[in-house]
Chain A
Amino acid sequence: MSFLDASVTVRRPRFQIQTELAVEEGHVLALIGPNGAGKSSLVEALCGLIPIDGGRVVVGGTAWEDVAGRVRLPPQQRSVGVMFQRLALFPKMTALDNVAYGPRSIGASRTQARHAATSVLERLEAADLAGVPAGELSGGQAQKVGLGRALAVEPDLLLLDEPTSQLDVATRMIVRRSLIDVLRDFTGVTVVVTHQPMEAMAVAGEIAVMEEGRITQRGDAKELQLRPRSAYVAEFAGVNLLEGCSTGDRVEIAGGASVAVANAPRGDVFVAIDPNAIALHRTIPEGTPRNVWQLGITDIDLEGDRARVRMTGELTLVAEITRAASTQLRLADKGRVWATTKATQVHVYPR
């Protein structure tokens, strides 16, 4: 049995969570998914703030909740540290008192609690914030204190709900770095809810995708990138995802297009194409690339020296090329382009 072994059903009038979640000791799992997928509700269920309607939550061999066995520990009796989405720091207490609140609540003396809080803040390089009231902290500072408060109780299960959301890019990097540092030494199980692909990949060894209350896919970053199983995951991993029917060397896509593939399984398949593996041309390309589609450019996103080009026609694709190539091809003028890719660059896997 895994250290965290949960099977959670939560029923609400508008949606339902039904999911299994097992994570080994010392591991970090990123939980991603669209808004309203139930990620925050799952966090609340794991820490005991909302009751589950079915299943169980077992951590380190202890049943925190078991509907069949009529076990339900209140949040106070669960060894859990939560960093809430909007932090919920105690606004009038200082940063130090916020972090010391947990240890003090579970039996430490005032001195011990402050000592523990000081050392946690030091680990997060936030010792200078100790005396600042939480209501006066900046976004990044507050996030660190929120993380410190969750860590200070030395929990078996650490739940981080969007730990770097609502931060500017520079601050996000700083908070993320201290998060990575801290999690490296953390021995319990960590579940990080996030919307950011970079964060999920940087912080967690494994990523679980939650859509409409269910875990729809789980794997490491590579797995998600090579074989996304939903439009959300494809978008998250930044790859093109098509669905179709395969004959082994050709996939017929719904909508009429077809994709040449190599050594593919037959039947209903997903087709994943890395945007970097797509080349663009203004004239019909020479030679014999196996896949050529004439498509219209809908828009272009510039990111650093890369350009992400969205095109639509018999199928919809995103290509990623260098900014220089984009300028040379005058893609800003929109219009039609030929998109090509090699059959060997196309990943095909059963649906």
Chain B
Amino acid sequence: MASGSGLRRPRGEGAAPGIFVALGCVAAVFFLLPLAGLIVHAPWSNAIRELTRPAALDALRLSLIVSFSSLLLSFVFGLPLAWLLSRKRFPGRRVLRGLVLVPMVLPPVVGGVALLTAFARFGLLGAALERVGITLPFTPAGAVVAATFVSSPFLIVVLEGGFSSVDRRLEGAAATLGASRARILRTVTLPAMWPAISAGAALCWARALGEFGATITFNGNIQGRTQTLPLDVYQTLQTDFDGAITLSLLLLAVALVVLISLRGNLRVR
């Protein structure tokens, strides 16, 4: 008799539990609603005028410079650190790994205060930096430092996982074939961890682009110097709700363009 056959579907292929569907839908709406609100409320007729304000253009330019510079810095210093954390046993490794995570859990405004205590004129390193002609607080360079402080941990954590996931036998095979360590890194290790590189870069860059608390605390909010897009959104919001919405949409658009291009790479795996 075939009456029972309909019940014998393999597990995992049956209908999803109703409660999961319902809760999942709530979550989806929760993410979608604010974005829809931005689009619905946007003063589309004034959008061009709002976006071509000098302050908005300055903020956009600065945001792009700051976010990409901080991504670059995160790679230059974070990649070696991630390699050390993943591959080498040394005293204090666990402490160092914890230290890298601190900026991820620290409220950004506290990060800003902490950066002042380190790099302001009165700070631990500030006076020394001043003597060689480097000033960080309230400068564009300082905005890069603040963004890097909060965003680089995202890259480092993901890269460390990437280094750990690479098949060490491939690196060993390359070594027996005569490849130098640099060549092994370039031709075997990094290509194998490409998904981690691109995911880490996306997270790191997005965090740097959105950085607000540490930047405004460490650098203030100076148009053309330290006022990035999020800071401009905040300032515009005090007086001009429509303007803030337009800027928010611009920020959203920039983020989506970059993330989608990186996600495209992610799928290659």
Contact = CB atoms under 8 A, between A and B. Distances in A.
Q: Tell whether A and B belong to one assembly.
A: yes
B177 A49 contact: no
Interface residues of B, number: 16
Interface string B242-259: 000000000000000000
A166 to B, nearest CB: 15
Given A90-B188, A92-B191, A102 B169 contact: no
A339 B222 CA distance: 101
Interface of A: 44, 47-49, 74-76, 78, 80-82, 84, 86, 88-90, 92, 101-102, 105-106, 149, 153
Nearest 3 CB-CB pairs, A to B? A102-B177, A106-B178, A105-B179
Nearest to B188: A90
A153 B177 CA distance: 7
A120 to B, nearest CB: 13
Interface in B142-200: 167, 169-170, 172-180, 183, 187-188, 191
A47 B178 CA distance: 11
Contacts of A44: 172
Given A88-B170, A90-B170, A105-B183, A75 B188 contact: no
B167 A74 contact: no
Nearest to A79: B178
A92 B172 CA distance: 17
B176 A81 contact: yes
Nearest to A49: B172
B184 to A, nearest CB: 9
A76 B167 contact: no
A42 to B, nearest CB: 14
B167 A101 contact: no
30 contacts: A44-B172, A47-B176, A48-B175, A48-B176, A49-B175, A49-B176, A74-B175, A76-B175, A76-B178, A81-B177, A82-B173, A82-B176, A84-B172, A88-B167, A88-B169, A88-B172, A88-B173, A89-B173, A90-B170, A90-B173, A90-B174, A90-B187, A101-B179, A101-B187, A102-B177, A105-B174, A105-B177, A105-B178, A153-B177, A153-B178
A89 B188 CA distance: 10
A82 B176 CA distance: 7
A106 B180 CA distance: 9
Contacts of B173: 82, 84, 88-90, 149
Max chain B Cβ within 10 angstroms of own Cβ: one of A47, A88, A106, A153: A88
A19 to B, nearest CB: 20
Contacts of A47: 176
Contact of A149 (B175, B177, B183, B187): B177
A115 to B, nearest CB: 17
A90 B187 CA distance: 9
Contacts of B174: 90, 101, 105
Contacts of B170: 88, 90
A101 B191 CA distance: 15
Contacts of B172: 44, 49, 75, 84, 88
Nearest to B194: A92
A66 B11 CA distance: 59
A90 B180 CA distance: 16
Given A86-B169, A88-B169, A90-B170, A101 B177 contact: yes
Contacts of A49: 172, 175-176
A88 B191 CA distance: 15
- Among B179, B180, B183: residue with most chain A CB under 10 A: B179
A92 B174 CA distance: 14
Contacts of B187: 90, 101
Nearest to A93: B187
A158 B17 CA distance: 58
**Which residue, B175, B180, B183, has most C-beta atoms of chain A within 10 A?**
B175
B95 to A, nearest CB: 27
From B172, B175, B178, B187, residue with most partner A Cβ within 10 Å:
B178
Contacts of A153: 177-178
Nearest to B183: A105
A13 B180 CA distance: 30
A82 B180 CA distance: 17
Contacts of A101: 174, 177, 179, 187
Contact of B180 (A76, A89, A92): A76
A190 to B, nearest CB: 15
A102 B167 contact: no
B174 to A, nearest CB: 7
Nearest to B167: A88
Contacts of A105: 174, 177-180, 183
Nearest to A75: B175
Contacts of B183: 105
